[in-house]
Amino acid sequence: MSAKQVKDTAQEIKEHPMEGLLRMDRMPHIWCSTCGLGTTVTALATAINQLGLDTNKMAVVSGIGCTGRVAGYLKLDSFHTTHGRALPFALGLHISRPDMKVIVFSGDGDLISIGGNHFIHTARRNVDITVICVNNFIYAMTGGQVAPTTPVTAKSSTTPYGCYEHPFNLPRLAASSGATYVARWTALHIRRMTNSFKEAIAKPGFSFVEVIAPCSTLYARLNRLGTGLDLMKFYHDNSVIKHGIEPKDADIDFQSKIVVGKFIDIEKPTYIECLNDANKHVFGDKYKPYGGSDGSY
């Protein structure tokens, strides 16, 4: 490469390719390198770009945790709420602005432990929200405590001798609670994950994508699994793509095979469709379909 070529390339990459969707004034971010959040956020940004959606009409809501910080870095209307409560906040936001795409981006502890009740009920109602859950099998933000997803025998700071509780299988939970779209990928399945994000965002109803990601600083270290990159590769190389399988067959054991793929993709009326249909049925022409704060009422 000539000196001139090098210079041109340097100029070309001065602008971050995701600049339009990232809050560059908040960089550098707080995440450890190779934690998997980077590829996941990149995949989401790519998905949004490829869908060609009006980003003025998108919002992201997060709870608390490392993953919960995503809301702070995406250049959309973005809400960093309290631990576990991203979903009900997002529900209120969505109902008030049904014309907007609301994405909830949070951790497994946030969404499934403290926020578990909201998770099953938001799925049950089929609220038109896309949920991206980064599952690192641990509570990262608070220093590596056990999570409801921690595989049996895995160590955490509060299961120093190994976890002995049955973990949740998140796709199974989402599907049985009523989600219309359920997929799982690892943080290195960038193309497939991006594709799933696109499908999930386009899907009317409660869509759920789980991303298996390494926590390089805590989970990898406490379990002596090498670097974050080692673990990211391990998850990818030990995954088996099985589209359409029963989510109950997608349990995850400690450092063994991980079933990934698109498990559920069904049609079902959304919360707002149900609300409007029911009221139309009862009130007839007296009822004006509910249209949110920008609605025609």
Partner 1 sequence: MKADPRNVLTGANYLDGNHASAEGAIAAGCKFFAGYPITPSTEIAERFARRIPLLGGVFIQMEDELASMNAILGASWGGLKSMTCTSGPGFSLMMENFGLGIMLETPTVLVNVQRGGPSTGLPTLPGQADMMQARWGSHGDYEVIALAPDSPQESFELTIHAFNLSEKYRMPVLVMTDECVGHMTEKVIIPPAEEIELVERKYTDKKPGEAWPYESTNGDIAPMLPVGKGYKFHVTGLTHDYRGYPVINAEAQKLKVKHLVDKINKNVDDIIWIEEKDTDDAEIVMLSYGISSRVMQPAIARARKEGIKVGQIKMVTVWPFAEKRIAELAGKVKSLIMVEMNYGQVFLEMDRIARGRCKTYLAGHAGGTVHKPEDIYQIIKEAAK
Ligand X SMILES: Cc1ncc(C[n+]2csc(CCOP(=O)(O)OP(=O)(O)O)c2C)c(N)n1
What is the binding site for partner 1 (CB under 8 A)?
Answer: 23, 25-26, 55-57, 59, 61, 64, 71-72, 75-82, 84-85, 87-97, 99-100, 117-118, 120-121, 275, 279, 282-283, 286-288, 290-295, 297
Distance separating the N- and C-terminal Cα atoms of the chain: 63
CA distances from 88 to 74, 107, 135, 251, 252 (A): 20, 15, 20, 27, 28
Q: Are 254 and 154 in contact (CB under 8 A)?
A: yes
Which of the listed partners (partner 1, ligand X, none) does 108 bind, with a CB threshold of 5 to 8 Å by partner kind?
ligand X
Amino acid sitting at position 41: V
Rounded to whole angstroms, the Cα distance separating 81 from 260 reads 30
109 sits near ligand X (criterion: CB under 6 A): yes
Which of the listed partners (ligand X, partner 1, none) does 229 bind, with a CB threshold of 5 to 8 Å by partner kind?
none
Rounded to whole angstroms, the Cα distance separating 22 from 251 reads 34
Of 226 and 292, CB closest to partner 1: 292
139 sits near ligand X (criterion: CB under 6 A): yes
What token pair was written down for 174? Answer: 């989402």
Q: Are 254 and 152 in contact (CB under 8 A)?
A: yes
**Pattern 247-266, ligand X, x by CB under 6 A:** --------------------
Q: Among residue numbers 46 through 85, which ones bind ligand X (CB under 6 A)? A: 64-67, 83
Shortest distance in whole angstroms from residue 147 CB to ligand X:
5
**Which residues of this protein are in contact with ligand X, per CB under 6 A?**
64-67, 83, 107-110, 136, 138-142, 147
